[in-house]
Structure 1
Amino acid sequence: MSINAFLPLIVIIGAMFLMTRSAKKKQQQAVQMRNEMQPGSGVRTIGGMYATVKEVNDDTVLLDAGPGVELLFAKNSIGAVLSDDEYNRIVHGIEHDLKADGTVVPDDASSLTETDEPADAASGEGTVDLGKKDTAEADAGEAKADAAEPKKTDGESDAK
């Protein structure tokens, strides 16, 4: 038998090996993240609830979801451990201080396109009229069209 006969089988086995390896690596990272949880950490459950870790046990986590609301969850139900900045931004609406980073990005693009001169003067070209005609020109154009073709009123037809 030739190696060409076994080549598709080898490729399939190699792909399966790579897929299981990456899935196993992600699973190990999730277990490590859950084991590193500390009381006071902000977390998001796999159901999308945000809470603060109050107590960590072997298989369970006690979460503080608000004033007087303590919930007991399985460790496997923790989807992500959040940084303090991210947790405060999501739960409390507290934005990170942008001035400390040094770079401030404007909320809109208008400040990126503004210049000291008006746009017409900056381009150096004449203005191009893309709007409607002046009302006097429009009336004259309609009058020429009216003279060339007689007006019809309701009920009249061209049929003879």
Structure 2
Amino acid sequence: MPLSNECSETPAVFVLSGPNLNLLGTREPEIYGHDTLEDIHGRLAERAAALGLRVDCRQSNHEGTLIDWLHEAHFAGAKAVLLNAGGYTHTSVALHDAIKSIRVPVIEVHLSDPMKRESFRHLSYIGMAAAAHFAGHGADSYMLALDAAARF
């Protein structure tokens, strides 16, 4: 659901969050911090407005839904997609293929730094297809990614 009531002429950045990110703020706060996904979305909407953009923030625990939203971003002419695929980052060839199939730049986002965590998190199928990556900066990873999206 869009967080901004800006006119449709304002370029959109889709912000897609994958499994378990709806639990931010309470899920392993020592790793992911205390910000909720709604907190992050609110800050993104404010920053997007300052950049002359609007954000369309969505979360799903379902891989196919994330793929459908990537396709939607393509057909809607989105400026960019910020994607935190959660655990699908390390498992989803289908998301990798969806990113490669669209003409919208996708920026991989992670709150923690997967390279400093368990070895199974070191492989990123999303990263293999993404235009850029921001990880390890907590909620600021999203802000850095939005700033990068504004430059596309």
**TM-score tier (shorter):** under 0.3
Who wins on radius of gyration, i.e. which is larger?
Answer: 1
Calculate the TM-score normalised by the size of structure 2: 0.20
Greater RCO, CA 8 A, separation 6+: 2
